[in-house]
Amino acid sequence: MSIKFFICTSLLALSAYASNTDAAPGSHGPNGEHLDAPASGSSSGLARLPDGSVNISKQVQRRLAIRTVMVVTGEHAHTVELNGRVGIDPNAGGRVQASFAGRIEAAKSGLPAIGQKVKKGEILAYLHPVATAIDRGNQQAQLAEIRASTTLAEQRIQRLEALEGSVPLKELQAARAELISLKGREKAISGSIAGMEAITASASGNIASASVLSGQIVEARDVLFDIVDANRMVIEATTADIKLASQVTGASLNGFPDVKLSLIGFGRALRDGALPLSFRASTASSALAAGLPVTVTVQLKDKVDGISLPAEAVVRNANNEPVVWIKAGSERFIAMPIQYQTLDATTIVATKGLAPENRVVVSGAALINQIR
């Protein structure tokens, strides 16, 4: 009986000690967090607190590669986003068209495939002329007539040469000139009936599009091949603000941080109510293709005050508002709604919502945003 009494007494003492170790209502930790708030985290060191902030242990921060920087307010170029499209540089690319109606025949090396590299002047295919039955009959009749006239001209020259000295020299020269003319006409007409023309590359580069097959009948001016030089591409953007063109100081492509753009110029005539601006891609990118729609971020001469941040620092909260995560303590992070403008393909400028003393998460913000 004394042993049971001793065990019961010990359990009551331990229960009293545990109740005394609970935090008092309203107590705060060293970082300002509420210690009496119900915990919603797990043993992994991740927790979404009742006020919307996130608690992440140091060990987890290192594992998630979370990095922060102390932000600084500065003056940055005002930017505008324009819709654009990638095109072929007219001084580097080329287009191959059929000069007359004909039938395609492959070259010795075969027809070039899309993406194949070619050199200027290289034979891509052959084009055999085709004609209707009536046109072909007329050409053959004209060819037979020219051949008969050629035979007569040769016989006449032989007679004049036999009488050389007794006939004027000018008659012999005229007969020879007539024979040369008849042979030239015969060659031209026979070539149009049974000859073929070599289709050559108009520029050096890669085949961007090929719309021919062996034996295919094409019409005059049909586009057979487009040739693109990947190292020299142009981007054409449009804007409804005519004054914007004279304010451009630089540009970049959204989603293509490795591509640098330089302004070529802008049109002096509106196209569908918008002013076209041309940019040259100074850096080659395998991701760019002719006809690809892109977004061009244009830097202007006007300046805007704000805090420069990497674009990956901005995420969306449950209300679809742009936010950045601020480090409020050694293991506590708070989401801060901001207003921002795009500076270039990889940088934004926060104009409202941040203060210079804030420490902002610039790497791993998307991972923090997923903690629930």
- CA nearest to 218, candidates 210, 227, 206: 210
Tens-digit pLDDT profile for residues 46-97:
778 888 889 988 888 888 899 998 988 888 888 888 999 998 888 888 899 9
Q: Is residue 44 part of a domain?
A: no
Q: Both 71 and 152 in a single domain?
A: no
Q: Both 142 and 249 in a single domain?
A: no
Tens-digit pLDDT profile for residues 173-229:
888 888 898 888 888 777 666 667 899 999 999 998 898 999 999 998 999 999 998
Q: Is residue 75 part of a domain?
A: yes
Domain end among 228, 249, 267 = 228
pLDDT for 191: 65
Q: Is residue 203 part of a domain?
A: yes
CATH code of the domain in which 147 resides: 2.40.50.100
What is residue 36's three-state secondary structure?
coil
pLDDT for 2: 47
What percent of the chain stands above pLDDT 70? Answer: 84
Q: Both 164 and 259 in a single domain?
A: no
pLDDT above 80 (res 128):
yes
Q: Both 129 and 77 in a single domain?
A: no
CATH code of the domain in which 278 resides: 2.40.420.20
Q: Is residue 358 part of a domain?
A: yes
Q: Both 269 and 197 in a single domain?
A: no
Domain end among 228, 250, 280 = 228
Per the CB < 8 A criterion, the answer to whether 188 and 147 are in contact is no
Quickly state the pLDDT bin for 241 (edges 50, 70, 90).
confident
Q: Both 163 and 236 in a single domain?
A: no
d(CA 198, CA 207) in angstroms, rounded, equals: 17
Q: Both 217 and 302 in a single domain?
A: no
Question: Which amino acid does the sequence have at 37?
Answer: A
Q: Out of 37-46, 155-164, 293-302, which region has the weakest mean confidence (pLDDT)?
A: 37-46
pLDDT for 122: 93
Q: Is residue 9 part of a domain?
A: no
Q: Both 254 and 364 in a single domain?
A: yes
pLDDT for 224: 94
Q: Both 346 and 242 in a single domain?
A: yes
- The 3-state DSSP composition of the chain as helix, strand, coil percent (nearest 5) reads 25, 40, 35
Tens-digit pLDDT profile for residues 255-311:
888 888 889 988 888 888 899 999 998 776 667 888 889 999 888 888 888 888 988
pLDDT for 23: 34
d(CA 346, CA 254) in angstroms, rounded, equals: 8
Q: Both 153 and 272 in a single domain?
A: no
Q: Both 236 and 359 in a single domain?
A: yes
| Burial class of residue 21 (count of CB atoms within 10 Å of its CB; 0-12, 13-18, 19+) | exposed
Domain that holds residue 194: 94-228
Average pLDDT of the residues in 152-176: 84
Domain end among 212, 228, 244 = 228
Q: Both 205 and 242 in a single domain?
A: no
d(CA 22, CA 360) in angstroms, rounded, equals: 34
Q: Is residue 30 part of a domain?
A: no
Q: Is residue 61 part of a domain?
A: no
Quickly state the pLDDT bin for 143 (edges 50, 70, 90).
confident
pLDDT above 90 (res 123):
yes
Indicate the number of domains in the chain: 2
Q: Is residue 282 part of a domain?
A: yes
